[in-house]
Structure 1
């Protein structure tokens, strides 16, 4: 087997798996459980992503591709069939996010200055109408309780009207909604990278993928940088939302000018921060003897937009 230090894909995978392992351990997921999920993902990818245009791969071909036995492939395929039959395709987090986005963007729920208006719970132009327009059959009280819980919405003490404290719905902690967003975000990023690595159709541009990184920033700058990056990123996402939302067939309630087919698309923005420790002589010796990853501090390849 090729070692992690010589195979570029292995190196990239290790960098992905290291923080993932930390999250799994924090949430009490043992390796055996993770390994079973990996088997399931291998089987689903083999069966769904490698068709020849006429029919899906057989269990035997999936076994050859994945290195699993045909018995294990069938077991995982049966598990996948049960999971897909019970999926409703739309999460509570997605619905709450639509409500907040509508409040920020829709002129019917804005004040004269274009900012999100203070809303009564019921009546014309109320929070209840907002939920019905952007969240379908979700009970308005349940949506409001969730937005209260995460600090997105508050109620005015004198009038009782509701107002936005944050312009985006972001669940807190390791909640079910936050973990679902984690799965979606990481999956979308990996899918974009995979597309850019493998899709070489002539005349077709790669999907947009950029990162801004500097690795020698003094700690006293970080708080100001966090605030600046968050404000600019939020403004960018709201501008993109303003452009794309009118084309959403669920929100526009009209598909007369469209084919009826559906495409899921979007743009993701995330902030990262990783303190870099200066290596001691002992650390340097460990790196040489035991093939530990070297510190990236001062690496010019880690600076700028790439």
Structure 2
């Protein structure tokens, strides 16, 4: 491993270690996950390139023993993001499905809880799978996305679904969002066609006063949210799950992520 890659990988692992330390995860558990991920990736890459996939071949590439590889190949990773995805689907339907949008304002309508048409119950049935309307309402109330009005209707309070108190759901977001960023960077490292580069930019300064940050946070929340909603509208119109008339081949996931960061700046070297 060259020094540049080593430094980059160390920074990624160090950031993850803060989470693992706080959650009390032992180093052995982390090491086992790394082994599992490496075996899974090598197996997938060999299959994709048309090479023969064997335990011996994977062991030779990873440096693991054949016994370790055989055991790891029998395990399957488990997804823990189902509840989050259901909430996002319900919110997206409420924002875009004309049955649940106010025809005058174009905004998400206040929905009666029950009813054959235009009700919260109908919305949940259409977009959440087998989750009950009561359970979905409790969840959306818990994270302050929706509320019950005095007459028993349901009102949308936020156009973004972000878990606020559930550590499990926040950890699930870690497992969904961080890999997307790394995959984009990996693509940009390996592609040879400049036209195929994926958008990857950031802006930052490292000598800001602490007092300036609250205004900047509010600025980012407002403007970034409006930009994401515009992207969301475009994607909704081109996604076959939500717009069945869309024509084309393949099944691709695409999107844009925006995140805010702040941290103490590293000391600057004195000028000579």
Asked if Structure 1 and Structure 2 have the same fold, meaning a TM-score greater than 0.5 normalized by the shorter chain, the answer is yes
Contact 1:48 1:56 in 2 (8 A): no
1:236 matched to 2:227: yes
Of the candidates 210, 213, 219, which is equivalent to residue 219 of structure 1? 210
Alpha-carbon shift at residue 265 of structure 1 (Å): 1.4
Alpha-carbon shift at residue 250 of structure 1 (Å): 2.1
Q: Unaligned stretches of 5+ in structure 1? A: 277-294, 300-306
| 1:205 corresponds to | 196
* Root mean square deviation of aligned Cα: 2.3
Alpha-carbon shift at residue 77 of structure 1 (Å): 0.6
Contact 2:81 2:172 in 1 (8 A): no
Q: 1:249 to 1:136 in 2, by over 3 A?
A: farther
Q: 1:254 to 1:91 in 2, by over 3 A?
A: farther
Comparing 32-41 and 105-114, the one that deviates more: 105-114
Q: Unaligned stretches of 5+ in structure 2? A: none
Distance, in Å, in 2 between the alignment partners of 1:274 and 1:16 is 15
Of the candidates 153, 167, 170, which is equivalent to residue 178 of structure 1? 170
Matches within 5 A, 1:46-195: 46-51=42-47, 53-80=49-76, 83=77, 91-111=82-102, 112-123=104-115, 124-156=117-149, 158-173=150-165, 175-195=167-187
TM-score normalised over the length of structure 2: 0.90
1:74-133 alpha-carbon deviations (Å, 9 max, x no partner): 1111113xx47xx6x971101101111222233332232222221111112111122223
Distance, in Å, in 2 between the alignment partners of 1:209 and 1:94 is 25
Alpha-carbon shift at residue 51 of structure 1 (Å): 3.6
Alpha-carbon shift at residue 296 of structure 1 (Å): 5.1
Matches within 5 A, 1:23-62: 23-51=19-47, 53-62=49-58
Distance, in Å, in 1 between the alignment partners of 2:133 and 2:179 is 30
Of the candidates 253, 262, 265, which is equivalent to residue 251 of structure 2? 262
Contact 1:216 1:298 in 2 (8 A): no
SS for the counterpart of 1:212 is coil
SS for the counterpart of 1:188 is helix
SS for the counterpart of 1:249 is coil
Comparing 203-212 and 26-35, the one that deviates more: 203-212
Of the candidates 256, 263, 272, which is equivalent to residue 274 of structure 1? 263
Comparing 166-175 and 7-16, the one that deviates more: 166-175
TM-score normalised over the length of structure 1: 0.81
Tell me: higher relative CO, structure 1 or 2? Use CA pairs within 8 A at least 6 residues apart. 1
Q: 1:63 to 1:128 in 2, by over 3 A?
A: same
Instruction: Report the count of equivalent residues.
Output: 268
Q: 1:147 to 1:52 in 2, by over 3 A?
A: closer
Alpha-carbon shift at residue 17 of structure 1 (Å): 1.4
